[in-house]
Amino acid sequence: MRIGELSQRTGVSPRSLRYYEEQGLLTSSRSAAGQRHYPDAVVQRVSLIRQLFEAGMSSRVIATVLPCVDVPGDLDVAEETSAAMLRERERIDAEIAHLVETRDALDVLIKANSRHRAELSATR
């Protein structure tokens, strides 16, 4: 299938599909006219790539994780992938901790603002 059909079947723009190729996440063959052609199986791969992007992973991390899908029986690949996934989980945990701290600081400001508004209302 050509890039337009893949785009329609996956809901991913042609521009994003070209980006996935640039990052080594997808491969295609080329026609004599230079048009990209993809096998039907790539639809599932694009779905997986989208899920990983939506989970907050970078294309670099996704490129590290995808070989586990491509070569599932290779222990070295599985170990590299596991290490990459653990690093990504640690990054996400740190990001969550930072967001919790930010939310807690915002809660302090909200309480202070509520007290201030109550004081202003009482003086009216």
pLDDT at position 49, please? Answer: 96
> Domain span at residue 95?
74-123
* Domain end among 42, 70, 98: 70
Residue 74 Cα to chain centre, angstroms: 24
Same domain for 12 and 64, yes or no, is yes
Same domain for 64 and 83, yes or no, is no
Q: What angle do CA 9, 12, 16 make, to 5 degrees?
A: 140
pLDDT at position 118, please? Answer: 93
pLDDT at position 67, please? Answer: 82
Query: What is the domain-level CATH number for residue 34?
Result: 1.10.1660.10
d(CA 37, CA 46) in angstroms, rounded, equals 14
Same domain for 82 and 98, yes or no, is yes
pLDDT at position 71, please? Answer: 75
* Domain end among 70, 86, 107: 70
d(CA 5, CA 17) in angstroms, rounded, equals 11
pLDDT tens per residue, the chain (124 residues)? 999 999 999 999 999 999 999 999 999 999 999 899 999 999 999 999 999 999 888 999 899 888 888 777 888 888 888 888 898 899 889 999 999 999 999 999 999 999 999 999 998 8
Overall number of domains in the chain: 2
Same domain for 41 and 99, yes or no, is no
Same domain for 58 and 89, yes or no, is no
